[in-house]
């Protein structure tokens, strides 16, 4: 998606994250429906596609040193490739969530809550507890 256009022509300042995600999911669903792709957008197929796109993102970094990887966005061609792969990963994740009825923002918030309990800040009560307890 072009930067000028934004999500359905709406800038990030005009919509909250949840609304923007809903708009993106709708656009993705409309895009797939217009092409008759819904029968192929099963949870299994979307999970596989998500994995493939994540692997394509990993491929960009495959042989880079940590220092090179930290500077990957400095080169316009590489930055464009990274952004495209991030977009592909997000698109398949949003479609996957839509098909299964997962609210991606609620799922993320709940996971962060669990991780905060599981991995307390060092030096706070319970911090010496093992994460699997």
pLDDT tens string 50-61: 999 999 999 999
For position 126, what pLDDT does the model report? 74
- Residues contacting residue 62 through CB under 8 Å, at least 6 positions apart: none
pLDDT tens string 111-123: 999 999 999 999 8
pLDDT tens string 88-113: 999 999 999 999 999 999 999 999 99
Yes or no: say if 72 and 61 are a contact pair by the CB < 8 Å rule: yes
- Residues contacting residue 105 through CB under 8 Å, at least 6 positions apart: 17, 18, 21
For position 3, what pLDDT does the model report? 40
DSSP code, position 1: -
Instruction: Specify the pTM.
Output: 0.81
* pLDDT exceeds 70 at position 10: no
Whole-angstrom Cα distance, residue 41 to residue 56? 20
């Amino acid at each position: 998606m072009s930067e000028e256009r934004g999500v359905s022509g709406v800038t990030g300042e005009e919509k909250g994250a949840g609304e923007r995600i809903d708009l993106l999911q709708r656009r993705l669903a409309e895009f797939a429906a217009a092409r008759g792709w819904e029968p192929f957008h099963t949870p299994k197929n979307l999970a596989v596609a998500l994995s493939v796109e994540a692997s394509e993102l990993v491929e960009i970094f495959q042989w880079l040193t940590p220092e090179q990887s930290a500077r990957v966005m400095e080169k316009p061609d590489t930055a464009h490739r990274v952004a495209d792969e991030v977009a592909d990963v997000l698109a398949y994740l949003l479609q996957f969530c839509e098909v299964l009825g997962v609210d991606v923002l609620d799922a993320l918030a709940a996971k962060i809550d669990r991780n905060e309990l599981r991995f307390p800040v060092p030096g706070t009560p319970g911090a010496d507890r093992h994460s699997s307890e």
